[in-house]
Amino acid sequence: MKRTVTKAIFPVAGMGTRFLPATKSVPKEIMTLVDRPLIQYAIDEARAAGIKEFIFVTSRGKSALEDYFDDAPVLEQELRRKKKTELLEVLRKTTMESGQIAYIRQHRAKGLGHAVACARRMIHDEPFAVILPDDVIAADKPCLAQMVEAYAETGGSMVAAMEVAPDRASSYGILDVENNEGQALKVRGMVEKPESGTAPSNLAVIGRYILSPRVMKHLTGLGAGAGGEIQLTDAIAREVDGDGVYGFRFEGQRYDCGSKAGFLQATVAFGLARPDLRDELSEFLSALSLSSK
């Protein structure tokens, strides 16, 4: 089995109800972290990991996403006329070559596993990445690039893992690992959203995966799991006794931009990391914390 990963699936068909009313007309993935939509962070991370083909699983009301990756000739012309070369460069980085990007519809939001399975005809006998744009990860080396490197050694399937507080475990897929030491951890079981007090560890799966094509086969015909949804975790768990599953303890800070608190934290952290915004923002935050005391 080859161990280079060139295809990535971006499941973006969810309804984003936690951000209503904003998501009534704006896809969650287009929401802006500082000055870039969430989806741009995901694409940049995929590119840095060597991904060449980008497969989006979308749904009704997500056309703004497709437009985002198109050429914008009128805007470009205007920026050229005004000699705004820096902005022109920023804009160019958002367009994708024709043929590099594909859109598939998930007609009903039946769960993450179902969304990934919708892309099955685009994945042949090769490993593929899955990226959830809600999970934004600040890291010196982008998270998926770290995983691609580790995966070249392990093979099998790999999921990004991070430690969570015990009372948060029931919101995640949780790993049962053979030995909770090191960076690539051999998994012996996985459970999606375990009931309180039953989690096998404090290691939660977050939105970066490198999966064996066998996972696609397991997804076909898989019934609903936790929350009545078709769960990607359940299909990956079947590989524990197959080609093997590894949890990868990545280096970096993950922000859950699918939740309001996570999005706000990411906005502050990414704002403070920007040289052009840092001073003004930190001054504002200090004044705010003084005035709230």
Is residue 134 near ligand UTP by the rule CB under 6 A? yes
Nearer Cβ to ligand UTP, position 5 or 119? Answer: 119
Stretch that binds ligand UTP, among 12-20, 48-56, 166-174, 186-194 (CB under 6 A): 12-20
Instruction: Give least dist CB 160 to ligand UTP, A.
Output: 14
Measured at the CA of 268, the angle between CA 91 and CA 68, to 5 degrees, comes to 25
Is residue 110 near ligand UTP by the rule CB under 6 A? yes
Binding mask 254-273 for ligand UTP (x = CB under 6 A): ----x---------------
Is residue 113 near ligand UTP by the rule CB under 6 A? no
- Return d(Cα 212, Cα 125) in angstroms, integer: 8
Nearer Cβ to ligand UTP, position 115 or 187? Answer: 115
- Type of residue numbered 199: A
Instruction: Give least dist CB 155 to ligand UTP, A.
Output: 26
**Of 8, 49, 129, 132, the one binding ligand UTP by CB under 6 A:** 132
Is residue 111 near ligand UTP by the rule CB under 6 A? yes
Residue 197 burial (CB count, 10 A): 9
Is residue 176 near ligand UTP by the rule CB under 6 A? no
Is residue 37 near ligand UTP by the rule CB under 6 A? no
Instruction: Give least dist CB 85 to ligand UTP, A.
Output: 34
Q: How many residues bind ligand UTP (CB under 6 A)?
A: 20
Is residue 43 near ligand UTP by the rule CB under 6 A? no
Is residue 14 near ligand UTP by the rule CB under 6 A? yes
**Of 3, 6, 15, 95, the one binding ligand UTP by CB under 6 A:** 15
Q: How many angstroms separate the Cα of 61 from the Cα of each of 57, 100, 119, 193?
A: 12, 22, 19, 29
Q: How many angstroms separate the Cα of 9 from the Cα of each of 108, 117, 202, 276?
A: 17, 10, 27, 33
Bridge partners (DSSP) of residue 247 are: 159, 185
- Return d(Cα 239, Cα 247) in angstroms, integer: 13
Nearer Cβ to ligand UTP, position 154 or 192? Answer: 192
- Return d(Cα 136, Cα 101) in angstroms, integer: 21
Provide the token pair at 149. Answer: 């490197």
Instruction: Give least dist CB 259 to ligand UTP, A.
Output: 8
Interactions with ligand UTP, residue window 219-248 (CB under 6 A): none
Sign of CA dihedral 79, 80, 83, 86: positive
Instruction: Give least dist CB 135 to ligand UTP, A.
Output: 8
Helix, strand, or coil here: 225? coil
Helix, strand, or coil here: 282? helix
Closest CA to 131 of 51, 36, 37: 51
Q: How many angstroms separate the Cα of 146 from the Cα of each of 46, 53, 117, 215?
A: 11, 19, 25, 21
Is residue 79 near ligand UTP by the rule CB under 6 A? no
- Return d(Cα 101, Cα 95) in angstroms, integer: 10
Nearer Cβ to ligand UTP, position 45 or 154? Answer: 45
Measured at the CA of 42, the angle between CA 202 and CA 262, to 5 degrees, comes to 50
Nearer Cβ to ligand UTP, position 114 or 254? Answer: 114
Query: Footprint of ligand UTP on this chain (CB under 6 A)?
Result: 11-18, 28, 57, 106, 109-112, 114-115, 132, 134, 258
